[in-house]
Amino acid sequence: MKYMLLFAGADGDAPGGESMTAVMAKVDKWWHKYSEAGAIVGGEQLQPASRATTVRFGGETPTVVDGPFAETKEVIGGFAIIQVPDLDAALEMVKSWPASSSVEIRPVVEA
């Protein structure tokens, strides 16, 4: 089954007082492990939320604004598409994620 993992955390902050270099080394190791195993089938790190552009709908014409859709303490910093047997396998994989304060696991609709 395919899932999208959405990695969220404080924009630009490393968890637990670690340096960003140390965290990224752990992330690279994690990413390599699951890519080699064939579980990660796509994904990318995102630019900071300050680089985001949002298009809001609801009026006569769409409105374009700088920044993320909502002001939050956590922002999406990246994503991965994984292919695993079931949610339990996705949970096991995500439990070892070394960086962000939360990871949303969402099933992908497959045609």
The encoded tokens of residue 31 equal 């990413």
Instruction: Tell me: pLDDT of 7 over 70.
Output: yes
| Strand ordering across the sheet containing 102-107 | 40-45, 75-83, 2-9, 102-107
User: For 42-78, what is each residue's pLDDT tens digit?
Assistant: 999 998 888 888 888 988 999 898 876 666 677 888 9
Residue 67: per-residue pLDDT: 72
Average pLDDT over residues 34-46: 96
Q: What is the pLDDT of residue 88?
A: 97
The percentage of the chain sitting over the pLDDT mark of 90, rounded to a whole number, equals: 53
- pTM over 0.85? The answer is no
Structural domains present in the chain: 2-107 (3.30.70.1060)
Q: Could you tell me if 40 and 82 are in contact, meaning their C-beta atoms sit under 8 angstroms apart?
A: yes
Q: How confident is the model at residue 12 (pLDDT cuts 50, 70, 90)?
A: low
Exposed/middle/buried for 108, CB within 10 Å: 0-12, 13-18, 19+? exposed
